[in-house]
Amino acid sequence: MTFFEELRQERKQWWSRKDGQRLRASLDSLPEIESSFHVEAGRVCVGNTSNKNHKDQWLESAKNLIPWKKGPFQLFDQHIDAEWRSDLKWDRLAPHLGNIEGAQVLDIGCNNGYFLFRLAELKVAMAHGIDPVLPFAAQFELIHRASGLKNIKFDLFGMEHVDKWSEKWDMIFHMGIIYHHRSPVHQLLAIREALKPGGVAFIETIGIPGEDSSALFPPDRYARMGNVWFVPTLSCLMNWAEKAKFINIQVIADTDLTQEEQRLTPWCPPPSQSLTDGLDPLDPSKTIEGHPAPRRFMIKIEKKGGK
């Protein structure tokens, strides 16, 4: 049995925990429906709208999985308006993907898999999402079952397992993850190891303004988040990638983070907190702790060795 097969078996045991049992029960009670999949106005739309028999049961299960952090999705005719408008991030990213039909793509920290569904639309051979969070796995499973897609999958793996892959992936997404871990360069080195020669990665992160190559290291919280280690300037992010021996580093996006992209909704209601909760109400250019407010940076980087 391979490392990942053993890990997959181990992580299956997580569903026997109290929270896992609740999530599992919500999914296992769902009746079979006729699957369907398309994308419309940035929404991943699943579930055949002509099949009304089990709609209420499926929608009730989706509500039981609140809060939905990433989206938007549409289940039958119900718009699942998540906290994050991930379609806006996809719109910034998509023009730089190129032709990826038949590619093997890894999405690290994929949440509920919104980007996996968008990749499936582009006919990748496989889009594999990893995230060690059970509620995200449950949301993915619900949408996946309604979609009928065969070229996406999800595992409860984490960033710490990425370097166990050697030259496997054509492309890697690393979206909103790098600042949640202690060592940004070690993450990039693991991504480089996992990429095939000539493979590309998209790194997206919160960041702070500034021309110098520096990173904020919050002493406690940043925008009320306790799991933030480094918040770089764009120059610093690019230098991290260069230190990790990536080439052809391109800036894809350097944008303000606004309430259009991140906000509370009926599908991610209080007590969840969102962007405005983390900003100074008198000066939204600063976080509630007095740090520079977050921007969003995205870069495209390439591993040496391609043709």
Do the bridges between strand 152-155 and strand 84-85 make them parallel or antiparallel, or are there none, so unpaired? unpaired
How much is the pLDDT for 60? 95
**Per-residue pLDDT, 307:** 58
pLDDT digits (tens, 9 = 90+) for 111-150: 999 999 999 999 999 999 999 999 999 999 999 999 999 9
pLDDT at residue number 133: 98
Distance CA 10, CA 20 (A): 14
Count the Cβ atoms, other than its own, within 10 Å of residue 261: 17
For residue 270, the SS3 value is coil
Tokens of 303: 């591993």
Q: Which residue stretches of the chain have pLDDT < 50?
A: none
Q: Can you read off the two tokens belonging to residue 145?
A: 């079952």
Query: What amino acid occupies position 36?
Result: S
Confidence at residue 59, expressed as pLDDT on a 0 to 100 scale = 95
Helix, strand, coil % in the chain, rounded to nearest 5 = 35, 30, 40
Q: CA-to-CA distance for 157 and 264, rounded, in angstroms?
A: 27
Element (H, E) at 118: helix 114-121
Domain residue ranges in the chain: 83-303
**Alpha helix ranges (H) inside 169-307:** 184-194, 234-243
pLDDT of residue 53: 77
CATH superfamily of this structure's domain 83-303: Vaccinia Virus protein VP39 (3.40.50.150)
Burial class of 31 by CB neighbour count within 10 A (0 to 12, 13 to 18, 19+)? exposed
- Three-state SS for 71? strand
CA distance 275 to 237: 22
The predicted structure's pLDDT at residue 52: 73
Rg value, the chain, Cα: 19
Entry pTM: 0.96
